[in-house]
Chain A
């Protein structure tokens, strides 16, 4: 008779795996990717694919030659970092800058802490912020590629630039909310279309990869705080509707803040985390020198995550 396997219970496991979670996130990012390609053309495609390639390559090189472990690139986490890094940059970003961003994201923010699951900060955001403070002139802080629908007849080669919605709004321009909702607006490659990001988010909710806690508390606290400011002075502060649709708000709330590695474990902690992200974003946007603040808000809340985990432990049974 064949030998029987003996091991501790339980003898069955759920079908969810790390790889499935990661690739589900990749699929959820596809709608926003397609909108990016539609409005920014081949540039968007090239930037995203290069970013993914750099991230995967750096992870493989570091694991194989520096850490000397079996590379785990097929888990898909480096692919996500690559996509998110690209989504947070303008489609006009030079490739060499992209490579530096990927190296910082994977090398510094992820692998130096021990790889997947060990990093305290969202790697893609660390990469993005590094590029923003290092190359403010290369990645135009005020001038971004404007949408130019792929099938709209315009040529693909010349890039038109203009202010991002947030800057335009800060300068008092009127913008069309519907255009911002569908993504017909300027901004980073993957952040422009609220609807595409929401579709991706619903897919993640449906597949139980994320829960509603962080996105909802993030968006609602941002909306409420923005509303308060707007009611105080509608001339100076941007209205809540624009705040939610503009910039990296949706991408941040749905895909970056929900990164399970860098956010709190319990639902209560996640609500606090989302609340912090929302309020900080509006503070940075309203009072900071830069029009955008989502990245900084999430990174700061990432830093607070261990504290939140400590403060909001689940209630134990029978105590």
Chain B
């Protein structure tokens, strides 16, 4: 069984919603859509307060290089344009929409009919992906079209599709592969064409046997798409680890996957690309797993972007009594939400509700030098060592110890028996190193 070669751990899987079919979440009465839901510069507003919009209408336009369009997931009236708190707790410019009916913009194919024939050429595909505001749905929200505009002199060998879903609790990719495998596969075909590669490798962790079976059966109809079962090991879905597992190629430190001839996208992104290119549908909705041990009705939902998180929780039976933490994403890399009025964004793949008992940290003791953090680090770092340097505020030393290579997977903090805040200290190091590098650049 293929896997990455260094480190990793295996937290309890808790895939409680593996068998819950995707339900369509009803439209909320009021929605809040951020101008910036991606990595990079915010998009520029092209609508005004009081304006009537339709589903799929452009709200904010990408005018800079690393940027993505944002479209309206709703039809209705823009009630205000104001700051709103997002799931990370920061305030960002947002468009408030009073939702009326569900009127789509003309030219968008809203049917469920599968469109197999790919009419656009590779350049047009990339243009379409850009137009439809597609961003990476694996979590980073990197504008997808940029990955397909290869730098001068670089050539891709493989398209890599991340369907690993190594985070505990998360099941949206699993459901997608069970319910919309063909859409995803056509999406992969489109991406292959855009990239001009012969081969696409789809990595799926072996704890999703039904998805693997379904995808393998259907993939026989498509040329050059290989479904690769991977060992269930966290962080199998981390970009560099996945590339290694599938191709045995190691992305050099500080470089992008294209350096080793790979472009990586999530399976959800592939489906979004299918909708964009074949159906002319912008990225306005995503599959969201609402889960947690005490949640009454755990569900996989198809949710429009901009839905208040609170209303999704209410739909699933409300917050459980013992709620301590609400997390956007999985338990290993997700972000704890401070305000449930925050709306979902393009990349909200899960809302995980945990009790304080389950999510609180263990009592901290002195480091035992057990070396577990070193053993589990998939990047070959020494968290024990970097943490000591960080506690002594030796930031330049942490840089020499490759703190910047940390992918923040959380294996170290998860594993540490002494309950040391290893990842917190690594993040602190990374922030300080970034600041030092900015100062250096100024000089």
Q: Which residues does A use to contact B, with CB under 8 Å? A: 1-2, 4-14, 16-21, 72, 75, 114-118, 260-267, 313-319
Given contacts A10-B414, A13-B414, A318-B240, contact A265 B384 (CB under 8 A): yes
Is B392 at the interface (CB under 8 A from chain A)?
A: no
Minimum CB distance partner of B353 in chain A: A4
A129 to B131, CA, bound (A): 75
Interface pair A14/B253, CB less than 8 Å apart? no
Q: Report yes or no: B334 in contact with A9, Cβ–Cβ below 8 A.
A: yes
B89 at the interface (CB under 8 A from A): yes
Closest to B319 in A: A1
Query: Which B residues form the contact surface with A (CB < 8 A)?
Result: 6, 9, 11-12, 89, 168, 240, 250-255, 319, 323-327, 331-338, 340, 352, 354, 356, 358-363, 365-372, 374-375, 377-382, 384, 402, 405, 408, 410, 413-419, 423-424, 427
**12 cross-chain CB contacts under 8 A:** A6-B337, A8-B336, A9-B410, A11-B327, A11-B352, A12-B331, A13-B414, A14-B11, A75-B365, A114-B366, A316-B379, A318-B379
Q: Are A4 and B368 in contact (CB under 8 A)?
A: no
The distance from the CB of B264 to the nearest CB of chain A, in whole angstroms, is 15
Which of B9, B365, B374, B415 has the most chain A CB within a 10 Å cutoff?
Answer: B365
One of A4, A14, A315 near B414 (C-beta < 8 A): A14
List the 4 closest pairs (A to B, CB-CB), nearest first.
A10-B410, A265-B371, A117-B366, A318-B253
Q: Which of B255, B359, B374, B415 is A14 in contact with, Cβ under 8 Å?
A: B415
Other-chain contact of B417, A4, A20, A313 (Cβ < 8 Å) = A20
User: Do B325 and A11 touch across chains, with their CB atoms under 8 A apart?
Assistant: yes
Residues from chain A with a CB closer than 8 A to the CB of B334 are 9, 11
A8 with B424: CB separation less than 8 A: yes
Determine if B405 and A4 form an interchain contact, defined as CB atoms under 8 angstroms apart: no
Partner of A117, one of B6, B325, B367, B419: B367
Cross-chain contact A4 with B382 (CB below 8 angstroms): no
Return chain A residues, CB-CB under 8 Å to B379. 316-318
With A8-B423, A318-B251 as contacts: A2 and B371 at CB distance below 8 Å:
no
Q: Is the CB of A11 within 8 A of B369?
A: no
Partner of B374, one of A16, A262, A266: A266
B252, A318: Cβ atoms closer than 8 Å? yes
Let me know if A317 and B371 touch, CB within 8 A.
Answer: no
Pick from B251, B356, B368, B374: contact of A116, CB below 8 A. B368
Quote the shortest CB–CB distance from B244 to chain A (angstroms): 8
A314-B380 in contact (CB<8A): yes
Question: Which residues of chain B have C-beta atoms less than 8 A from A7's C-beta?
Answer: 325, 336, 361
**Given A14-B416, A317-B379, A318-B254; 11 other pairs, CB 8 A cutoff:** A4-B336, A4-B340, A9-B333, A9-B423, A11-B359, A115-B366, A117-B368, A265-B369, A265-B384, A317-B6, A318-B255
